Chains A and B, each alone.
Chain A
Amino acid sequence: MLPRSIRKNWDLYLLVLPVVVYFILLKYLPMYGIQIAFKDFSASKGIWGSDWVGMKHFIRFFHNYQFWTLIRNTVEISGFQILVGFPIPILFALLVNEVRGRWFKKSVQSIAFMPHFLSTVVLVGMVMAFLSPSTGLVNHVIRLFGGEPVYFMTEPAMFKSIYVLSDVWQNMGFSSVLYIAVLAGIDKHLYEAAMIDGASKLKRLVHIAIPCLVPTAVIMFIFQFGTIMDIGFEKIYLMQNDLNRASSSVISTYVYEMGLLGSQFSFSAAVGLFNSVINLGLILIVNQLAKRAGGTSLW
């Protein structure tokens, strides 16, 4: 016999059922495949029938010559991304919030928003078109000033900057919406009181607007920091070529290369699992730290 609260509310459970079914079928069911990280996967034996090999693939990965390169690239790209990509939308939101002309405010926001709608494929295509050594705009400018064309896309030293800056360009406006929303929600009496006290605009910004943003910013920071080992695969993969590989190989692209392209599925599963475990650890740690420091946390 079901508890009364469930019987009474049966249609509530019906509503959530499809979502639960979705997660079970499409997300949890395939998880039986995690075991291949500890097996030597053989296609004809199937996932269940393959032989157990323990930590063999993990050990191979730890001893791999690319191990530290992959970790370093992953952390550097994410770190750089956070370093630049995290504060800029906040600054942008603060600036926009100071604007009073409605028309100007709206145009700035709308324009900053537009690049977000470009797909990764299009964005990378644009980056490559602008940076092309023979036909790209940037190199036309360089040549105009008498410089030698630069091979941006094949230059490992440039890769991370191109990746992060193009991301800032694409997502600054979009990421700032949240902060703009928070700023718009600040109680107007606070400002009025400050004005009566004769505080300058700058002072009002520092003492009212910024403190109001902190809790939201902390949560966003935790989100981003927790995913430091988890950079998107698509954009890097599309931007990658043999020459910039030294700085563009990250864990997610390596998993793809070894697995789907190299058909070493067990090994690539082990690398992926390693990454997931690190991610989980990072999120837990960061969450704990945030709780202790500021009293804000994810859960």
Chain B
Amino acid sequence: MSQASDRAAARYQQPALKEALTCEHLEACFRDEASAATECAYFARIAEIEGEPEMARALREFGEQHACNAKGSLDLLMRAREPLTGRTMGSTVENVAAMRSFYAGDTETEDRRARTARNEGFSDIASWFASLARLRHAHAERLAALAPAAAEPKPEGS
């Protein structure tokens, strides 16, 4: 069954997810799981370096599970909206449009964060935000260059 018909079936059987508080909870769940996946992998490496291999193994395995769970939350959010921008997602055309929107909005966010950090005296963190803003701008440009190809209609049967 296609994603579009999946969404159609969901509409008939359930209330619209994007209107529900559950959608916000699902988005929070996605952020939690994605953050925990990164943290666990990072902490696992520290444990490995500090000579705690059993702890490292456990954390690494938790991280893999969290990453898997983040994808699970994202799967469910497919019926509602992309969690970073609120746009629709599903096909590559929609996903790329959402990511471009994320990069565009996020570049501004990082610039604002950099200004705040500088004003508060955290030069290194300001520089980090500014570096991320630059990278996201570069990503947006790369996606923009690729977008026409992604938007090409696919041949029938593919």
A binds B: no
